[in-house]
Amino acid sequence: MTVRPLIAGNWKMNGLSQDLRTVQEIARAAPGTDASVRTIICPPFTLLREAVAAAADTALEIGAQDCHISRSGAHTGDVSAAMIKDAGASAVIVGHSERRSDHGETDSMVKAKATAALAENLTAIVCVGETAGQRQTGQAEAVVLRQLAGSLPDAATSTTVVIAYEPVWAIGTGLTATPDDVAAMHGALRQALNAQFGDDGGRFALLYGGSVKPDNAAELLRVANVNGALVGGASLKSQDFLAIVDAAC
């Protein structure tokens, strides 16, 4: 079964108005709507609406990096999926390891956030990944599969949810999992999806994330059951992001 590859950029807490030109550069050069590769950039909330404008009339999609579980209400400083949708975005990352560690997000919170995203017709990019300690003690697969089971919304389908496997120790460190380790984890994730969703399990896009760069993208994207990448640091430069997109084409 072929899955349309997705290259998504996560800007994290980076990006001022001057950086909208990076969105424009990526949007202009990104593959078209009917091209084989889907592209998304997730800037901070402050740039969301302007990033949508910068990517207008191109196939580049804009996403957010988190959403609240509620649609509106007394939650100072939070942003809802409805607001993200209203800003013109089409996707949202939920359960990134930095949210899990900085904000104590649990699987059930991530599931509620992903459910809120689906209610607004946003693609939910659900992140899972083990720590270095968990890998060293042989728990990586169990941890990741438990996160998957606990974080996926009940209504998940391959057209509404994307899964990103990001080993915590590979994020922002320059370290990447070996192709063999990625193949093993993505194989385990695929098996779990097949068991839960039957035929549709084979259609979910499974992204790898953690220090994906232009010089290692091709090798990682060739791995079985890797259908794209979630890119942090390298998504801040249009040339680097576009080189990774090229590697997926």
Residue 198: Cβ-neighbour burial (10 angstroms; 0-12, 13-18, 19+) = exposed
Asked about 120 being catalytic, the answer comes back as: no
Q: Which one, 86 or 216, has the nearer CB to ligand PGA? A: 216
Nearest to 189 by CA among 150, 225, 156, 151: 225
Compare residues 47 and 207 and give the one whose CB is closer to ligand PGA: 207
3-state DSSP percent of the chain in helix, strand and coil, to 5: 45, 15, 40
In the set 96, 105, 120, 130, the catalytic residue is 96
Q: Is 96 a catalytic residue?
A: yes
Q: Which is nearer to ligand PGA, 97 or 115 (CB)?
A: 97
Q: If binding is defined by CB under 6 A, does position 133 make contact with ligand PGA?
A: no
Binding residue for ligand PGA (CB under 6 A) from 31, 95, 167, 233? 233
Does residue 130 bind ligand PGA (CB under 6 A)? no
Does 231 bind ligand PGA (CB under 6 A)? Our answer is yes
**CA–CA distance, 70 with 62 (Å, rounded to integer):** 21
Looking at 98, 130, 166, 186, which residue is catalytic? 166
Lookup: tokens for 23: 């969105």
Question: Which regions of 13-108 does DSSP assign to beta strands (E)?
Answer: 38-42, 61-64, 91-94
Pick from 5, 7, 10, 152 the residue near ligand PGA by CB under 6 A.
10
Interaction residues for ligand PGA, span 197-216 (CB under 6 A): 209-212
Taking the CA atoms of residue 245, residue 246, residue 247 and residue 249 in that order, the dihedral angle to the nearest 10 degrees is 90
Token output for 64:
């957010």
Give the residue, chosen from 21, 172, 224, 249, that forms a contact with ligand PGA under the rule CB under 6 A. 172
Shorter beta-carbon distance to ligand PGA: residue 10 or 238: 10
Give CA–CA dist 245/101, Å, rounded. Answer: 29
> What totals of helices (H) and strands (E) does the chain contain, helices first?
10, 8
Among 81, 83, 144, 171, binds ligand PGA (CB under 6 A): 171
Shortest Å, Cβ 93 to ligand PGA: 8
> DSSP of 131-185, one letter per residue?
-HHHHHTT-HHHHHHHHHHHHS-TT--TTTEEEEE--GGGTTTS----HHHHHHH
166 binds ligand PGA, rule: CB under 6 A: yes
162 binds ligand PGA (CB under 6 A): no
Shortest separation between residue 131's beta carbon and ligand PGA, angstroms: 14
Write down the least CB distance from residue 167 to ligand PGA, Å.
10
What is the DSSP secondary structure assignment for residue 17, as one 8-state letter? G
Which residues are near ligand PGA by CB under 6 A? 10, 166, 171-172, 209-212, 230-234
Indicate which residues carry an active-site annotation: 96, 166
